[in-house]
Structure 1
Amino acid sequence: MLVEKDIKRLFQQLVQDDTVHIAVDGVDVLVRVFDHASKLFLSATVYTGGNFIPQSVRKTVGLHAPFMRDEQIKTYITVDDNHYLININYIGKMDCYSDSLRQLLEEFSWLAEQWRSYLDERGKQDLIHIHVK
């Protein structure tokens, strides 16, 4: 959970540099402002494939996840084939009210954690089980 001083520090860092990494409830979130600090970009890695992204995980990316609700923030998923990563992303208007930003970051980190668990479960479906006698 973020407290007021965390949000103030985030604002101060964003004034100095347009990009900041912040840990929100155990999720590393990239925060970037652009378009004269009027827009906000959030990104977090939800799947790390090592040297491979399983087909079951790739297929899941395009599906509507069971934890998604219409009233949630609108996010999108990207696949980075060069680094074998899947990221959740958000682009929206930059709100300078600390409570609004705190709520946004907490909801985004919750969604990232849900996607991480969901994709990890799907990735296990591609495992080959070998029984040794």
Structure 2
Amino acid sequence: MQLVLRLIINAFAIWLAAEWVGGIDILSPKENGTGGEILVALAIAVVFTAVNALVKPLVKLLSLPLIVLTLGLFLLLINALMLWLTAEITELVEAPEYGLVVNGFWAAVLGGIIISLVNWVLGVLVPDND
């Protein structure tokens, strides 16, 4: 149940970043309506969660000296790269009208900041079993 809540929070954060940042878009056919956009956002959240679980720890480990040197600000760049990687993976889907599009470095940075903040705020509300 907690995994489903985290996926919903990630989907909401990605949708919010797509609404607020001009260079980030969620591609979904208009004839599918809002329900189709929600399903696409959930699918993007699954990919984003997998990227954060598999790739992000390795990148953080390899860039540890830069993270320490910049007092953690390099983590913003890592979050932007994870968002960009998610967009690249979703573009590999056969249907070109579905997926996440990130246009530009600064859009990825702003989107990464928004997603991190929304995950942090809503993550406080979801109880952890740890």
| TM-score normalized with structure 1 length | 0.35
Q: Which has the higher helix share?
A: 2
The structure with higher relative contact order (CA 8 Å, sep 6+) is 2
Q: Which has the higher strand share?
A: 1
